[in-house]
Structure 1
Amino acid sequence: MVWPIIGYRMCSLLRSKVQSMGSFIHREPVWCLPFSGLTSTSVVSSRTRPLTKVMSWTKPYCGHAATSSFKEQQPEDSSNCHRLSPENKDLDVGNMAETDGNQDLFDLMKKRFLSFKKHAYIKELEHFQALAEAQSPKFLVIACADSRVCPSNILGFQPGDAFMIRNIANLIPAMKNGPSECNAALEFAVTTLQVENIFVIGHSRCAGIETLMNMQDVQSRNFIHKWVANGEVAKLRTKAATAHLSFDQQCRFCEKESINQSLVNMLSYPWIEDRVRRELLSLHGGYYNFKNCSFEKWTLDFKECNVTEEGRSYAVKEQEFWG
């Protein structure tokens, strides 16, 4: 069963609390169950740390995002949404897809940079100078490398808000799979920057997940195949739960199932598991559907998870639908 889309308006959902209907627990051999409810319960860390500037959520695409999920709140500041500000119309200086020639692309890039310097950097000079000395992001975001899925654009992350990892299909390999650039960045963000939230963001029509679902054991594996094989458990769960569905529907299912697999995989890193156990770190999943511009968010329920060599089960909580 594909997770249902709830027909709530974004603004009313995000500005009002809805009654929690409880989390669902996914236990083998059931493989996967759909979300059973929505709640706007906030994730609050037990640790506080100075922030140079709290995330400023803007509304360039889908309306206001929920600031209530964060420990600190600030009033909305339209100056962070340059495209909508009348005095900053010259920021929207063109579309790269409509330009011809390599030099034109860099000319456009230069205009965008100079516009950023004029309308963002100079106006927030103190903030950017503080960032030049140190960073203390609240989030580690793992997102797909897909050019259509930019977390800063979609969710309004500002400089200093989030440490970013982007790879094919937003996958996090288990620790036993050995070192990679991905888990090196993961270690730095958790042990050095001490982020309080890890947010794995998947999306609709993911080519990496489609490749995973199409892979056959006899297939010769290139770099892409070897990487997406990190989602093999999610593929097996999907095949077991959705044998009656079309291939396209199976891919949509696996796009979300792979996010949960990555969340569980992170518990195989002892320095992540320790911080989650002590409630210094929360693990979250998100799914962006760019066909209808909607977003689903949930949090891994660590207390209900059971991860062993023999098998694993997981539960999620604080499920929300924005759109």
Structure 2
Amino acid sequence: MFPMERILHGVMRFRMEVVPRRLGLYRELANGQRPQALFIACADSRVAPELITQADPGELFTCRNAGNIVPPYGQATGGVSAAIEYAVMALGVRDIVVCGHSDCGAMKGILHPEALAGMPTVRTWLNHAEVARRVVEANGPTVDKLQALVEENVLAQLDHLRTHPSVAAHLAAGDMTLHGWVYSLATSEVRAFDAEQHRFVPLGSTAVPAVSARRRPIAARRGDVRG
């Protein structure tokens, strides 16, 4: 079966088998949406937010792009900024997740820019992760820099998220929570950044960790631990 034939077969199976089992839900969603969270994830084909969270249609407002990037407010007026503003102001979302993942091609490109030759748009886009690269280069481990960069990038994008007026206003009011996650492709484990411990911990090991003000790069903490 050719790739598009497989996709078309999936569309027909969805309509004929899946929808009838939950017809009430789909009819309700036809009249509007009330998502529980904004989920900003990488566009990597191996990352499926609804599958990872086992969310029903209508529960996540998703925004996906190369490297789960959030440009600082005003630097790039585009789809990501518009999605954030709409989710917060129009849909009333009060939880936002930025989710990175292992083996991220975007992060590999930052570590090895020669791999991005001939892709000027990608290189420009990934400049929004430059702060994460510099933190890892200055403070990170001598091995597994990719994993360190994935984690630092999540925190960097959360910092950028705070520059968006719609987000900043609700954070100041105390009625919005930010979450930083990293998903493992190999194990399906999700680790969340715990601001109190200042590290990523397995989701479910404690109460749902939330991100508050950052104190220092987690890469620097790794350096302290290594001694």
Q: Relative contact order, CA 8 A, sep 6+: which one is greater?
A: 1
Shift in Å, 1:118: 3.4
**Partner amino acid, structure 1, of 2:124:** K
Q: CA deviation at 1:106?
A: 3.4
Q: Any conservation in 2 of the 1:196–1:280 contact (CA below 8 Å)?
A: yes
Pair 1:264-2:159 in alignment: yes
Tell me how far 1:261 sits from its aligned partner.
Answer: 0.8
Select which of 168, 189, 196 maps to 1:294.
189
Structure 2: runs of 5 or more not aligned: 194-208, 219-227
Whichever of the two has the greater Rg, that structure is: 1
Matched, 1:237 2:135: yes
Q: 1:119: how far off?
A: 3.3
Q: Over the residues paired in the alignment, what is the CA RMSD in angstroms?
A: 2.2
Deviation, structure 1 residue 221: 7.1
Asked if structure 2 preserves the Cα contact closer than 8 Å seen for 1:140 and 1:163, the reply is yes
User: Equivalents in 1 of 2:146, 2:186: separation in Å?
Assistant: 15
| 2-structure distance, mates of 1:208, 1:109 | 26
Q: Which runs of 5 or more structure 1 residues have no equivalent in the other structure? A: 1-98, 307-311, 316-323
TM-score (norm 1): 0.58
Q: TM-score, normalised by structure 2?
A: 0.80
Q: In the aligned structure 2, how far is the partner of 1:110 from the partner of 1:251?
A: 36
CA distance in 2, matches of 1:117, 1:296: 35
Conserved 8 A contact 2:98-2:181: yes
Contact 1:264/1:314 (8 A) holds in 2:
no
Show the 5 A alignment for 1:100-249.
Answer: 104-215=2-113, 222-242=120-140, 245-246=142-143, 249=144
Identity of aligned residues (%): 25
Specify the SS of the correspondent of 1:280: coil
CA shift for structure 1 position 180: 2.0
In structure 2, the CA distance between the partners of 1:235 and 1:314, relative to structure 1 (3 Å rule), is closer
Deviation at 1:116, TM superposition (A): 2.1
Shift of 1:140: 0.7
Task: Give the Å deviation of 1:196.
Answer: 1.9
Separation (CA, whole Å) in 2 of partners of 1:190 and 1:229: 25
* Contact map agreement 1:202 1:286 (CA 8 A) in 2: yes
How many residue pairs match? The answer is: 201
| SS of the residue 1:165 aligns to | strand
**C-alpha displacement of 1:265:** 0.9
